[in-house]
């Protein structure tokens, strides 16, 4: 009897947890749920979708329609700052475009969809509206070059723990175990990463080389950068494998001999699966030196502003892309004579 009571209590607790998530909000044939900065357990798309037993597809609605369904009395506002997805603003403590707006559904048609499923929204928006589905879970690899990738290893590994990635059938040459990825850098050095594979799925990634491995992958820095900048890293890897630019070799004599005979078959299969390099990711919504960079990044330089102006009449709309010399003079040199800026970096700086 006691066990039955405990089971019922457990079910009730789980049900109350799921029901705490706001939604679904039905619009245009899709189901959306509220991601809120007010609750640390519901401030990412991944958390909210997981709470209802689904996976995060993304912030896919670019109008303010879902926001207006959630907040019928909110005003509609559109500007050149924000996110392509419709968001809800309600003043502080959110920064950026939301800091000066109260009870608004905000859109930015010229912006990019910059918030990922794993990103916390509390720094900028009070609410966002995520589409959840039963589809395959995805991880975010925002790196566009090898150096960025090496800096994001810990984050990527954390995502893979909860969302293993299936290796395409054309990559059947890759066996379970540790795969050592050697990236031949343009400087003449080699950067090494260990990829853990189980059940033909990538389950983890760490810096450095494991002591035991199943196979070794070798690629140049330039080819790795091309793959990272593409819309599909997996398809790009298959294309490079088919072109012989991503090389697979064994970790011992037996596996080296085996792969020597399997490599031609793998290349042929990869060419059929990925006959061309996938297109590059769209250019980021960034600015040039001197341009406003609120909620955006800079093609070059640093998104920054004088701290003393942030709470003045310009509030959070005074971030500009500064070149390195301005940053060195005004920001790094704070305290010099004449007085330099006490700089803040922008949301994407």
- pLDDT digits over 86-120, tens only? 899 999 888 878 888 999 999 888 777 778 888 88
Distance CA 284, CA 277 (A): 20
8-state DSSP, 276:
S
Q: Helix %, strand %, coil % for the chain, to 5?
A: 30, 25, 45
Contact present, 297 and 348 (Cβ < 8 Å): yes
pLDDT at residue 171 in the model: 64
Which pLDDT tens digit goes with each residue over 270-296?
A: 788 788 998 877 666 677 777 777 667
pLDDT at residue 164 in the model: 82
Distance CA 37, CA 54 (A): 20
Contact present, 45 and 129 (Cβ < 8 Å): no
Report the candidate in 327, 60, 118 with the shortest Cα–Cα distance to residue 345: 327
Average pLDDT per consecutive 10 residues, the chain (349 residues; last block may be shorter): 38 35 83 90 85 80 91 90 87 85 89 79 90 73 83 85 75 85 95 93 93 94 91 87 92 84 81 85 69 71 66 51 74 52 60
The residue ranges of every structural domain in the chain are: 18-133, 146-273, 286-345
Q: Whole-prediction pTM value?
A: 0.49
- Which fold does the domain 146-273 belong to in CATH? Nonspecific Lipid-transfer Protein; Chain A (3.30.1050)
């Amino acid at each position: 009897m006691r066990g039955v009571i405990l089971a019922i209590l457990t079910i009730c607790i789980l049900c109350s947890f799921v029901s705490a998530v706001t939604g679904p909000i039905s619009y245009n044939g899709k189901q959306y749920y509220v991601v809120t900065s007010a609750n640390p357990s519901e401030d990412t798309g991944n958390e909210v979708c997981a709470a209802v037993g689904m996976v995060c597809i993304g912030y896919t609605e670019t109008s303010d329609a879902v926001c207006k369904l959630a907040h019928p009395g909110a005003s509609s506002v559109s500007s050149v700052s924000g996110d392509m997805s419709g968001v809800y603003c309600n003043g502080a403590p959110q920064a950026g475009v939301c800091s000066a707006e109260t009870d608004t559904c905000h859109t930015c048609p010229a912006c990019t969809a910059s918030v990922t499923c794993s990103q916390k929204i509390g720094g900028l928006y009070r609410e966002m509206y995520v589409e959840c589905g039963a589809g395959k879970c995805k991880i975010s690899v925002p790196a566009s070059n090898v150096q960025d990738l090496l800096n994001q290893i810990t984050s990527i590994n954390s995502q893979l723990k909860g969302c293993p990635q299936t290796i395409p059938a054309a990559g059947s040459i890759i066996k379970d175990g540790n795969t050592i990825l050697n990236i031949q850098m343009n400087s003449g050095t080699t950067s090494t990463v260990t990829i853990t594979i189980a059940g033909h799925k990538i389950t983890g990634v760490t810096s450095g080389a494991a002591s035991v491995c199943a196979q070794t992958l070798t690629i140049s820095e330039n080819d790795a950068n091309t793959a990272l900048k593409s819309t599909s890293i997996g398809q790009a890897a298959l294309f490079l494998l088919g072109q012989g630019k991503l090389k697979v070799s064994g970790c011992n004599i037996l596996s080296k001999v085996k792969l020597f005979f399997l490599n031609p078959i793998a290349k042929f299969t990869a060419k059929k699966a990925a006959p061309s390099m996938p297109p590059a990711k769209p250019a980021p919504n960034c600015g040039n030196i001197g341009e406003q960079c609120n909620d955006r990044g800079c093609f070059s330089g640093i998104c920054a502003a004088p701290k003393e102006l942030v709470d003045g009449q310009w509030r959070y709309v005074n971030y500009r892309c500064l070149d390195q010399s301005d940053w060195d003079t005004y920001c790094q040199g704070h305290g010099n004579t004449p007085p330099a800026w006490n700089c803040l970096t922008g949301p994407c700086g």
